[in-house]
Structure 1
Amino acid sequence: MAKKPIKITEVVLRDAHQSLLATRMTMDEMRPILPAIDEVGYYSAECWGGATFDACIRFLDEDPWERLRILRKEMPNTKLQMLFRGQNMLGYRHYADDAVEYFVQKSVANGIDILRIFDALNDPRNLETAIKASIKEGAHVQGCISYTLSPVHNNEYFANYAKTLEEMGANSICIKDMAGLLTPYSTEELVHSLKETVSIPIDIHSHYTSGLASMSILKGIEAGADIVDTAISPLALGTSHMATESLVAALQGTDYDTGLDLKKLNVVREYFNGLREKYLASGQISPKMLGVDANTLLYQVPGGMLSNLLGQLKEAGKEDKLEDVLKEIPNVRKDSGYPPLVTPTSQIVGTQAVLNVLMNSPYKMVSKEFKGLVRGDYGKTPAPISDEFAEKILKGEERITCRPADLLEPEMDKLKKEAEKYAIQEEDALTYAMFPQVAPKFFEKRAQKLAGVDGDHVDMANKSHPV
């Protein structure tokens, strides 16, 4: 066969630490190693979006926009990639189209090259605005398949969805396997199916949770995948991803050779090894997160969702009910149209399963978010929700059948006005838009830091931040 070097997307600066240590890696911890990462020759570095934005302002006292500008400055030769939740942007509700367009514009202006855009329900209507805006800004659009298993999810379903994304303007397709559900042979079949249907590159993103990712990725590569997501080894495995160096070594001397240098990767590895030791010593990484949990294959529960469920049960003093909740999740998924379990549907389905178990009666108490899922606030579910079940949950409320964002009035002018008193840069209006409760506290702390200091705020933001 003709040579087909595999491209590598390094996820250590975003998904690896989001998976293993709740997104707590600081800019000060990243910055010293960025030039070395830039030298490796990765296809891209996933370094922004997902939960990083929330964690920056809520826990790290860092400006996420400043983080992006530093990443751009320190890694001039590497494409910077972000994870973007379609109409949800990086928040937890749907935003009006003008806010989504403005966010995409500012992300690209500050350094993002590739936007990986997904929707929790795989509803293409929720990706329309983000895709159009990314194309307008000249960015690479990576359309995402939120991978899951159910009676309605099969290769034909995923291939049709990928074709829709390609027709909408996606430049590549990502199989986003957030719970580690891909098995080696299902990956091979899925990649074959996608390659027959679309003509754009295929990226495999699979978490190591179930212990299958490296086998699945190898079969996916043999089936024609073009790009693979990996994490440098000290922050790999467990709920994170397969190790970068292992894949590079496995493909050396083959037609798929990545061309990456293990000596250059070792410089990056040694640095993150020091951080790993620090995180283990401080308890930021739980040894539990580093193991294999094959239970995910039974319940399809991503690692982050599992710790969330355990937290909810602990609070209620019902930790012993975890097994019951895990058994209830498939029932709730079936009733609500088989949504993939990824933010925000994982939280919605999980919380409802907890309520069903604690109340000892299904749907005796219904969360506001679950009601919204059934009503259609989040978009169209993969399988239709029965009228009988919808009536039970909604009690006569009308269901939404249009694109949810069509019901939203433009909101950016209003948000800019509300954020005016805090803003020192245009991007602050977007920070405020996504986290209106948390952002003001962050802005106040930032103002205190800047008080009485001469010079540009950018210089100040580059100085160390207390964690």
Structure 2
Amino acid sequence: MTASEKIPRGTGPVRITDTTFRDGHQSTLATRFRTEDMLPIAEKMDAAGFHSLEVWGGATFDVATRFLNEDPWERLIELKKRIKNTPLQMLLRGQNLVGYRNYADDLVEAFILEAAEAGIDIFRVFDALNDERNFEASFKAIRKAGKEIQATLSYSLTENRLGGEVFDLKYYIDKATIFRDMGASSICIKDMAGLMNPYDAYDLVGALKAEVGLPVQLHCHYTSGMASMTYLKAVEAGV
């Protein structure tokens, strides 16, 4: 049992990860939420029954330090004090951590251990190219910290629909299988450009669940206006 599985969470048939405190304002407000904007509502968010709350990582770290004159570590610690029942998760850029270049393995380990100590239960790890080599050091450190590894499939296309010479079902199943064998306990399909067609979501989620055997989550953006229907078909497939 992973650390986050010991924490009570929603028991409904569909588990929802809320990203308001991370991607919600990163994608709509240039990541300009301040800690003081989050703390008053944190306990109510905790009581809502979410599967997890994504509160850290991505651009929140560098924006806090460069533009908001805030300590991102203090934000995480203060949120953890108030959110006691719902697992907290972060978006980790693999070997890039929360920056824009590759970092040394010892720094990757030190950062992840500190993040786990400060309150992160689930590490959603992604690499834009789905290159498993950029997951190795972070997965090892997350296991050392006793936390949950959620491996991310960065979704992309070369055709109008899922398929073609590169991004077909086999590509995503093969990558997810590699991530599972490296120690991931769940898979997140990250549709960061809003490209996923609803029926492709149905096929991909179903195939991953059948072939890989791990829980599957889906994170969509609304760039194309399809996300609502994409989520619906993904739920039908068992996301």
TM-score for both structures, normalised by structure 1: 0.47
Q: Which residue of 2 aligns with 1:111?
A: 119
1:65 to 62, 73, 81: 73
**Residues 158-217 of structure 1, C-alpha deviations (whole Å, 9 max, x = no match):** 010001000000010000000000111010011111112111100000001111011011
Please name the residue that 1:160 is paired with: 174
Identity of aligned pairs, percent?
53
In the alignment, is residue 21 of structure 1 matched against residue 35 of structure 2?
no
Q: Which residue of 1 aligns with 2:161?
A: none
Partner of 1:143: 151
Q: Secondary structure at the match of 2:67?
A: helix
1:84 offset after TM fit, Å?
0.3
More strand by share: 2
- RMSD over aligned Cα atoms: 1.0
- Corresponding position of 2:41: 33
Matches within 5 A, 1:362-401: none
| TM-aligned CA distance change 1:73 to 1:4, over 3 Å | closer
Per the alignment, residue 188 of structure 1 pairs with 202
Matches within 5 A, 1:71-220: 71-150=79-158, 151-220=165-234
Residue 155 of structure 1: how far off its partner (Å): 1.0
Higher helix share: 1
Following TM superposition, the consecutive aligned residue runs of length 4 or more in structure 1 with deviations greater than 3 angstroms are none
Number of matched pairs: 223
1:253-284 CA-to-partner distances (Å, cap 9, x unmatched) read xxxxxxxxxxxxxxxxxxxxxxxxxxxxxxxx
Deviations 1:80-127 (A, max 9, x none): 010000000111111110000101100000000000001111110110
Partner of 1:404: none
Deviations 1:44-77 (A, max 9, x none): 0000000000110011111000000001001011
Tell me if the contact between 1:115 and 1:142 (Cα under 8 Å) persists in the aligned partners.
yes
Partners of 1:25 and 1:171 lie apart in 2 by 31
1:4 CA drift (Å): 6.8
Quote the residue 2:162 is aligned against. none
Q: Which residue of 1 aligns with 2:57?
A: 49
Per-residue deviation, residues 296-327 of structure 1 (Å, max 9, x unmatched): xxxxxxxxxxxxxxxxxxxxxxxxxxxxxxxx
**C-alpha distance in structure 2 between counterparts of 1:86 and 1:118, whole Å:** 6
Q: Does the Cα contact within 8 Å between 1:156 and 1:193 map onto a contact in 2? A: no
Q: Distance in 2 between matches of 1:81 and 1:53?
A: 14
Judge conservation of contact 1:166–1:198 (CA < 8 Å) in 2. yes
Supply the distance in 2 between the matched residues of 1:174 and 1:135 (Cα, whole angstroms).
18
Structure 1, unpaired ranges of 5+: 226-467
Alignment partners' CA distance in 2, 1:213 and 1:83: 20
Matches within 5 A, 1:322-341: none
User: Which whole-Å CA distance do the structure 1 matches of 2:66 and 2:104 have between them?
Assistant: 24
CA–CA distance in structure 2, aligned partners of residues 4 and 102 of structure 1:
36
CA distance in 1: counterparts of 2:173 and 2:111, whole angstroms: 29
Q: 1:118 to 1:79 in 2, by over 3 A?
A: same
Q: Measure the CA separation in 2 of the matches of 1:86 and 1:105.
A: 14
Letter in 1 for 2:178: T
Name the larger-Rg structure: 1
The alpha-carbon distance between structure 1 residues 155 and 206, as it changes in their structure 2 partners (threshold 3 A), is: same
Equivalent residues in 2 for 1:361-440 (5 A)?
none
Aligned-partner residue type, residue 156 of structure 2: T
1:133 Cα deviation (Å)?
Answer: 0.7
Q: Are 1:221 and 2:229 an aligned pair?
A: no
**Which whole-Å deviations, capped at 9, do the CAs of 1:344-382 have from their partners, x for residues lacking one?**
xxxxxxxxxxxxxxxxxxxxxxxxxxxxxxxxxxxxxxx
User: Aligned letter for 1:54?
Assistant: D
Q: What's the TM-score once normalised by structure 2's chain length?
A: 0.92
Once residues 107 and 199 of structure 1 are traced to their aligned partners in structure 2, the CA distance between those partners, rounded to angstroms, is 28
Partner-residue secondary structure (3-state), 1:122 = coil
